[in-house]
Every structure is written in C-alpha cells, then in structure tokens.
Amino acid sequence: MARLSSFALHELSAKLAAGECSSVEIVNDLLDAIAERNGELHAYLWLNAEEARAAAAEADRRRAAGESPRSPLDGLPVALKDNLSARGQPCGCASRILEGYRAPYDAHVVERLRAAGAILLGRTNMDEFAMGSSTENSAYGPTRNPWDSERVPGGSSGGAAAAVAGGLALAALGSDTGGSIRQPASFCGCVGLKPTYGRVSRYGLVAYASSLDQIGPIARDTRDAARLLGIIAGRDARDSTSLDAAVPDYEAALGERLDGLRLGLPREYFGAGLDPEVERAARAAAEQCRALGAEVFEVELPHTPYAVAAYYLLATAEASANLARFDGVRYGRRVEGEDPTDLYQRTRAAGFGPEVKRRIILGAFALSHGYYDAYYLRAQKVRTLIRRDFEAAFERCDALLAPVAPTPAYRLGEKTDNPLAMYLGDILTIPVNLAGICGLSVPCGFTPGGLPIGLQIIAPALGEERALRVGHAYEQATRWMEKTSHASPSAIRGQR
C-alpha cells in the first residue's frame, strides 16, 4: 500500500473527506519519512513535530464533530522556507547571524494557512538570505537532490523542493527573487509557481530584494499549486506593493485542452549554452501543447542577454540596504566589540557567509557616489526594456513556453568556486522577476541519467490562471508528475 506521504494534497483532502485516513496519520507518516531520509537530503532545518501532531488531532476532532472544512487544506501539512515568519518558530534564513531568533509574528501567508486549517510541518533549508541557486550557501550545510544525492536541488528554495520531491512534504511555500521557486522545482521534478509581483503579500518575508521577491507554492502537481495560490493570494494593507485585485478560482481554470491558446517560444531562450537534453524536452513539450490544440510559434525577447547583468546590480543594491538591519544589536547573533561600530563590523563579519558578503559589497558599490548613474540607474532602464519585450510578446500570444534552466541539476561543488557560472544559470528565470510577471515550472521529462527537466510557462501580470491552465493540460497529457513522485532514478530510467 502506498504511503500517505506519496499522495498529493488534493488526493489526501478527498481521502480525509471519505474517512479513509486521518490528519494524525498523515502527519505521522510524513514525520516517519523525514526521520528516514532527512539525514541524507538535509531538506529541513527545523521540525514542528509536537505542534503539528496537536494541530492534526484538532483537525480530526473538528471533522469527527461534523464541522465543515475550513478550506481544501484543512488538516493537511505544509512546509515553510526558512525566510517566512511564523510566530514562535525560528526564522534564521539559513544564516548564522539569526541564530536563536524566533519570529514574534506570522507572515501574511502563514496567517492565511492557519486560517485555512493547514498544519505547519517545519522549516526548510535554503541559500543564506535566499542568495544562491543551489542551496549550497546555507550556513547549516547543503541540501541534496532526491534524484541523485551528489547533485544540487537548486536554490534558493532547494530545501522546499527537495522535501516535496523526496516525499518529506506534501507541499511547501518558497520565495522567488530570480528563479528561486522555479529552478529548484525543475531540478527536483516538482511544480513551482512564481506569482505576479504583488499577487501575494510579502509581509513577514525576510527581504532580499524587495522589488523582486515574491512568495509562491512548490507542490506535487498543478492542482495543488492552484489550491495553495488561492489560499495565499490577495490584498494585504501591510504590504504597500500588494495588488488590490480579486482572487479568481484557480482550480476552475484547469482543463484538459488548450484550444484557442497562442503559445510563444522565445528564440533567445533556445540559444547557445542550452543543454541538448533540456532543449529536446522543452521542444517536445511545445509539440505536446500543439497537439492539445494550442497554436505554437516563435517570438522574440531581444533584451534577454542583458537580464543577468541588470538583475545582479538591482538585486544586490536592494540587498545591501535590506541587510543593514542585521547588526547584532536588536536580535540574532552578537559579537562584542570595543565600541558600537566594532560590534557591528565583528557581528556581520562572523554572521554572514561569503556569498552574502559578496552581494552586499557589490550592491553597496553599485549605489556608491559616482557609480549610481553608471550602474544602478542603467540597470533600471534595462529592466524597463525587458518588461516592454514581454508586453510586445503578449500582444501576439497568451503565454510563453521555455526551459526553466539551461542545464539539469549539476554536481555539488561544481560551481561554488565560479560565482559567474552560478549566476548565468539563472538567465532563463531572471527576466520574469524583472518584468514582475508570473512563471510556472512543470516537469517535462528526464535526462538519460534520470535527472528531471522543467518546462517554464510564462504568462502576463495576473495571468496565473492561464499559466496553470497550460501546465495542467500538459501535465494530464504526459503524467510526468506520477513518475517523479518517489521512484528511484533507476526506475525513472526504465520509464523513459
């Protein structure tokens, strides 16, 4: 009999309604799976085991008493990336500088999860302060990919993706600043959705780059991603960038066909540096969408080559300002000094890791006197051009299809000594963040060695329904998500 932890959220919701299992059984099964495999994967930094069991028992009590479910997530566990505040829980951003800190309040998305009856299972590993693409920058050690423990799970939400793909979580919330939900979802063979900027409140998310950060779901399939987005999306007055737009029924948009949709293939996303297996899988996915009724044709996004340079100026500039608050005075790690300035410098030197320091220095330089116009202001102008590229493309098509990352998951340590190579790995996801639009990663195949490959579906601002519709139709036609659940890599090779 399949373990409860191998089912999707919507499948377990139906089982709970039918009395085929209990919330306590689901939580205990997940905790057993975590005990068996987290030592290998290092997906979780902290578990909320006692409170999760108590919340599950309360959900079972409500169900037994005949109370109506609070939402489709009622009584089901969800994991949180370690940069989302949850009252009383650690919120360390995988950094030594926040050792011992516990959040005094809930993030907006956590409030929404609690109100929906969801159970907070634990906190997942990440690149320190979300700065990285491999989850090797965590101060507490790297997370490993469930398909090959010698490879990275992607980043910065690598712990969340590894937990979902490895059967240690039904779903998780992550954050995406330049691809940090979509790229690990691609590397780990699950679904990851980066919503439109402002679609989900950032209140309670520890900021990396405030004009780019967005919270979104990582899940087993598109239906679960749609359910989670429906819970967490919506206006929040505490976040001035939160959009005042109605939240649609995302699940209602899911269908089996794509008749009438126009899908573009960005020419610049299929150029030099793209792994042949990744290109093969992405183009095959486009043909499958054509078979489902969509019109598929090439489009141009001419300013794509400038996206990485613009992003790493804008994001690091914002990071240098956002991370100034971590000073050892009010909370977190404190290294005493001879005076306040010495305390500040010693604390930050000891508390931040090498990648965080690199980005703070780069951002401070970009904002410094004499360089602001040459670097930061010019990067903002490039951002505008990239947004206009997408606007022009969406005049011709409803959504775009592209790879998520240029390569499948690479080996641990392969790029740690070459930051530029690591940064260039984000070239296909960064433009979506710069433009403030939405992107979805869904599994679209495997390499000959059994590594997952993701298809990126890009839609206009507030076009999540459209992206999910395309992703779901493709998913139902190919059923890749069934092959990615918890089979071994050798089993996947046999299924190709």
- pLDDT confidence of residue 370: 85
Q: How confident is the model at residue 491 (pLDDT cuts 50, 70, 90)?
A: very low
Sorted by sequence, the CB contacts under 8 Å of residue 130 that are 6+ apart come out as 83, 93, 156, 157, 175, 177, 180, 208, 213
Helices (H), 233-377: 276-291, 307-322, 340-351, 354-367
Helices (H), 373-462: 378-396, 419-424, 430-435
Q: Is 445 helix (H, G, I), strand (E, B) or coil?
A: strand
Rounded to 5°, angle at Cα 265 from 262 and 269 = 155
Beta carbons of 78 and 86 less than 8 angstroms apart: no
Rounded to 5°, angle at Cα 280 from 276 and 284 = 170
- pLDDT confidence of residue 269: 98
- As a whole number of angstroms, the distance between CA 274 and CA 108 comes to 38
Catalytic annotation present for 180:
yes
Residue type, 431: P
Query: What would the CATH number be for the domain defined by 4-304+402-495?
Result: 3.90.1300.10
- As a whole number of angstroms, the distance between CA 104 and CA 334 comes to 19
Beta carbons of 401 and 263 less than 8 angstroms apart: yes
DSSP calls for 55-115:
HHHHHHHHHHTTPPPSSTTTT-EEEEETTB--TTSB--TT-GGGTT-B-SS--HHHHHHHH
Nearest CA among 97, 187, 252 for reference residue 406: 187
The tens digit of pLDDT for each residue in 55-88 reads 999 999 999 999 999 999 999 999 999 999 999 9
Q: How confident is the model at residue 479 (pLDDT cuts 50, 70, 90)?
A: confident
Mean pLDDT of 310-322: 97
Is the CA virtual torsion 302, 307, 313, 317 positive or negative?
Answer: positive
pLDDT at 392 over 60: yes
Residue type, 363: G
Q: How confident is the model at residue 489 (pLDDT cuts 50, 70, 90)?
A: very low
- pLDDT confidence of residue 480: 87
- pLDDT confidence of residue 484: 53
- As a whole number of angstroms, the distance between CA 87 and CA 348 comes to 25
Q: Considering only residues 247 and 492, tell me which one the structure prediction assigns the higher pLDDT.
A: 247
Q: How confident is the model at residue 372 (pLDDT cuts 50, 70, 90)?
A: confident
Catalytic annotation present for 134:
no
Q: How confident is the model at residue 371 (pLDDT cuts 50, 70, 90)?
A: confident
Catalytic-role residue among 5, 81, 133, 134: 81
Burial class (CB in 10 A: 0-12, 13-18, 19+), 15: middle
- pLDDT confidence of residue 481: 80
- pLDDT confidence of residue 490: 37
The tens digit of pLDDT for each residue in 106-135 reads 999 999 999 999 999 999 999 999 999 999
- As a whole number of angstroms, the distance between CA 479 and CA 483 comes to 7
- As a whole number of angstroms, the distance between CA 430 and CA 323 comes to 21
CATH 3.90.1300.10 boundaries in the chain: 4-304+402-495
Beta carbons of 180 and 135 less than 8 angstroms apart: no
- As a whole number of angstroms, the distance between CA 126 and CA 410 comes to 17
Mean pLDDT of 354-370: 94
Sorted by sequence, the CB contacts under 8 Å of residue 42 that are 6+ apart come out as 125, 140, 141, 142, 143, 144, 159
Token couple for 82: 């370690």
Catalytic-role residue among 5, 95, 180, 186: 180
Nearest CA among 181, 196, 183 for reference residue 438: 196
Q: How confident is the model at residue 492 (pLDDT cuts 50, 70, 90)?
A: very low
Element (H, E) at 119: strand 119-124
Sorted by sequence, the CB contacts under 8 Å of residue 192 that are 6+ apart come out as 157, 161, 174, 176, 181, 182, 184, 185, 186, 216, 217, 218, 219, 225, 440, 441, 454
- As a whole number of angstroms, the distance between CA 185 and CA 172 comes to 11
Catalytic-role residue among 5, 156, 186, 242: 156
The tens digit of pLDDT for each residue in 178-217 reads 999 999 999 999 999 999 999 999 999 999 999 999 999 9
The tens digit of pLDDT for each residue in 269-292 reads 998 899 999 999 999 999 999 999
Nearest CA among 1, 7, 3 for reference residue 481: 7
pLDDT at 32 over 60: yes
* Other CB atoms within 10 A of residue 5 CB: 23
Nearest CA among 260, 169, 209, 196 for reference residue 83: 209
Token couple for 169: 């979580």
Mean pLDDT of 82-106: 97
